[in-house]
Structure 1
Amino acid sequence: METEIDFGRIFEFLTPHIIYGNGSLDELGKNTKNLGINALLVTGKTAMRKCGIIDRSKEILESAGCSVTVFDRVEPEVSCQTVDKGKNFAVKSKSEVVIAIGGGSALDCGKAIAIMMTHEGESCEYQEEKDIIREGIPFVAIPTTAGTGSEVTKNSVLINKETGWKGSIRDAKMTAKIAIIDPELTLTMPPSITAASGMDALTQAIESYVSLRSNPLSDTLAARAIKLISNNLEKAVKQGNSLQIRERICLGSLMSALAFSNSGLGGVHGVAHPIGADFDIPHGDICAILLPKIMEYNKNFNTSKYLEVAKLLDLTNNTIEDGIKSIEDLLERINIPLTLGKYNIDPKKFETSIDKARGGSFNSNPRKIDKKELSSFLIERLL
């Protein structure tokens, strides 16, 4: 039975201009030209060059009359210091528009560079102390993975290398002007990245659906995303060269991103950032491992929504526990562990990591989170 809609509730829904479909990268030139002629192309250090996407993007842009400067220094977990270097790079090249191509780190880096172009100081100051007060220069997001959702979100997740703190710069002014989602660009994703990024998207969809801030639009998108991703992720991992399957995962990821960016997330993402940063665990992996445990932690809260999630995962599921089992079975089939055993984490350090968790995700979680209680719950089940 579907949750009843609250027709009287006021909510907002934010989205960039989205261009979706196979071959949509070809739309980059004419759309960028309308935003600025001098483009800064932000990407990682090697992968995008090796697969030819950077050269192809430069060719498309230059054919449209744009000049292109490449900033290819983005780390797997992007830092505030790299953002600041990118800003200096953009200033020197007189960039008028920032284009980011790659995974979530590249997109978060590009997004932060674009906003910092109109703000003084270092990017780390805007994680907690300073407010975003004006629009940045235009930002175009082009994901090559299906999962992070950074192409449609209004924040950048950054690590401050000097303090070790991982947090967000967040403001609606950071939303991309244009997001280009081309499933063909995801064909080069290896199985492990496909699995991890896909589970990140599935986690986002489930957390959005049960979020205390969910709304009718986010629920509709999240529900469809849960079905698309859960039905196709194993196939994408094992049949990565199938464009038809990649299309389904990309669309599910996009729907998930639009949902959670307008509803908030929950306990998984609330603790995933500090745990991932402290113990060097990739974001998609830690989200996947935490998901069934946080579902168990929350199962007596917002139960009607969790029952619907179980049915969305598999129509034969009759209980929330069945839904949790569906997630665990999927993790095993795509070779993601169910515990953190291989990381040999000290329980006291794990508890300290969770104690550092803060941010809006906890506020959206169905169950009010007590960090000490949650830490004990997860230590017992994960370490």
Structure 2
Amino acid sequence: MGAFDLAVPRRVLFGPGRAGELADLLPALGRRVLLCAGRDPSRALSLLGDVEPVAVVSVPREPTVELVRAATREARDAGVDVVLAIGGGSVLDTGKAVAALLGNGTDPLDHLEVVGRGLPVERPALPCVAVPTTAGTGAEVTANAVLASPEHGLKASIRGPHLLAAVALVDPLLTLSCPPEVTASSGLDALTQCLEPYVSPQANPATDAVAAAGLRRGARALRTAYEDGGDRAAREEMALCSLFGGIALANAKLGAVHGVAGVVGGMVDAPHGAVCAALLAPVVEANVRALREREPGSPALGRYAEVARLLTGRDDAAVEDAVDWLRKTVAALGVPPLGAVGLRPAQHAEVAAKAARSSSMRGNPVSLLDDDLLAVLRAAS
């Protein structure tokens, strides 16, 4: 067994009702609070009791470089000393990015991969408390923040250990109000973020444990959470799936699903989780085909067989059963193909070329060629 590191927030709080601890938790971290929330911050404000933020930033969609730059400027002018992010993955990524920039006195493009200078985040971030209200991205425990750069037509990350939140507070009850389409796209993203680290060449025993648990829990709970959003047991299972996926990806990386999805998300206006869901079965097929043809002795083939058993709950399941399960689940949850969200066939070659340079590709179990990626995009469209 090789050596490995495991990066997680300083503190992780999980359980129904734990959002009630927020007001007492914050004073030990800071007194001048920046609240990052979704389109309507009133719900987040209702969780804070007597705590009054000195600044509030609304994140209505996936964050851009300019949104984070403006939020950082507002927070700095207000003398913020702690960042609280309550919302979906976009809100949490905004909060983590702002906290890091405030701690370093820098600009998003100083650190952004691919489209920026890619400089490391050298100094600690301001304390950030991350409270997810969806079960999908696992951003409360990841060491990166994804930002869109519309002028470059893609999304990229600010990445590093200082991007980890000081506290991740996961209360499954906060996801009860998620509509079915959000439950579907975010839940499939959570499954993807357990699956890709499990087959990654950078997996380790700790990431294997949480990724496998996340796959098993997500597979049995996702359809129930989608069909009955008030099912608390299913919501708790999906919150754990998301949390475990975040820990797994932060330490074992992702793969081609996210490598391609990051590019597609910069070119069309579609939820990240829905894009990942459309790509998931085609990428598994492409990876397994490439492994069988080019690396038949790869341990990743055995890992894909284990994924099939975890998803289906059958001891005799083969890789093809995993692909079938994924296709049927995506269809049952009403996730649209990429063509339906605006990606045109004429854009496929550009997506493939940009995706090949994505940092997420480093976690893929096999190198995919342009023809492989083009086949994925055709199958997902």
Determine the structure 1 residue equivalent to 2:91.
Answer: 106
Residue 191 in structure 1 maps to residue 189 in structure 2: no
Which residue of structure 1 aligns with residue 364 of structure 2?
A: 365
What is residue 349 of structure 2 aligned with on the other side? 351
- Report the CA distance between 1:375 and its aligned residue: 3.1
Match of 1:12 in 2: 5
Q: 1:248 aligns with which of 224, 230, 237?
A: 237
The amino acid that maps onto 2:138 is: G
In the TM superposition, residue 45 of structure 1 has moved relative to its aligned partner by 2.0
Closer, same or farther in 2 for the Cα pair 1:228/1:298, shift >3 Å?
A: same
- Partners of 2:342 and 2:13 lie apart in 1 by 43
Cα RMSD, aligned residues only: 1.5
Q: Tell me the secondary structure at the aligned position of residue 117 of structure 1.
A: helix
TM-score w.r.t. the length of structure 1 is 0.91
Paired position in structure 1 for 2:297 = none
Indicate yes or no: 2:306 matched with 1:305. no
Q: Distance in 2 between matches of 1:283 and 1:115?
A: 23
- Runs of 4+, deviation exceeding 4 Å: none
1:4 paired residue number = none
Distance in 1, Cα, partners of 2:31 & 2:341: 47
Amino acid at match of 1:283: H
Which of 62, 77, 93 is the equivalent residue of 2:78?
93
CA–CA distance in structure 1, aligned partners of residues 239 and 166 of structure 2: 19
CA contact (8 A) 1:292 1:324 kept: yes
* Conservation of the 8 A alpha-carbon contact between 2:34 and 2:57: no
C-alpha distance in structure 2 between counterparts of 1:344 and 1:185, whole Å: 31
- CA separation in 2, counterparts of 1:76 and 1:202? 22
Structure 1: distance between partners of 2:87 and 2:378: 36
Q: 1:359 and 1:163, CA in 2 relative to 1: closer, same or farther beyond 3 A?
A: closer
Are the structure 2 counterparts of residues 125 and 164 from structure 1 closer, same or farther at C-alpha, using a change threshold of 3 Å?
farther
Which residue of 31, 39, 61 maps to 1:37?
31
The percent identity for this pair of structures is: 35
SS at match of 1:58: coil
Q: Matches of 1:209 and 1:31 in 2, distance apart?
A: 34
What is the deviation of 1:67? 4.1
Instruction: Summarize deviations over 1:41-71 as a string: whole Å, max 9, x none.
Output: 111222x52xxx3232232xx2xxx541342
Q: Secondary structure at the match of 1:309?
A: helix
* 1:200 paired residue number: 189
**Contact in 2 for aligned 1:275/1:350 (Cα 8 Å):** no
- Opposite residue 3 of structure 2, the aligned amino acid is I
1:44-193 correspondence to structure 2 within 5 Å: 44-46=38-40, 48-49=41-42, 53-59=43-49, 62=50, 66-128=51-113, 129=117, 130-193=119-182
Contact 1:73 1:82 in 2 (8 A): no
Q: TM-score, normalised by structure 2?
A: 0.92
Letter in 2 for 1:325: D
What is the aligned partner in structure 2 of residue 320 from structure 1?
A: 319
Kept in 2, the 8 Å contact 1:81–1:161? The answer is no
Q: 1:90 to 1:21 in 2, by over 3 A?
A: same
Contact 1:37–1:67 (CA<8 Å) still a contact in 2? no
Q: Deviations over 1:124-165 (max 9, x none)?
A: 231031321101111110000001111000110001244334
Indicate the residue corresponding to 2:263 in structure 1. Answer: 274
Compute the displacement of 1:323 (Å).
0.9
Alpha carbons 1:200, 1:284 under 8 Å: kept? yes
Show structure 2 runs of 5+ residues with no match.
Answer: 292-299
Q: More displaced, 210-219 or 354-363?
A: 354-363
SS at match of 2:242: helix
Distance in 2 between the 1:40 and 1:343 partners? 34
Asked whether the equivalents of residues 268 and 342 of structure 2 are also in contact (C-alpha less than 8 Å), the reply is no
Distance 2:151 2:144 in 1: 21
Q: Distance in 1 between matches of 2:249 and 2:240?
A: 14
Alignment partners' CA distance in 1, 2:159 and 2:270: 23
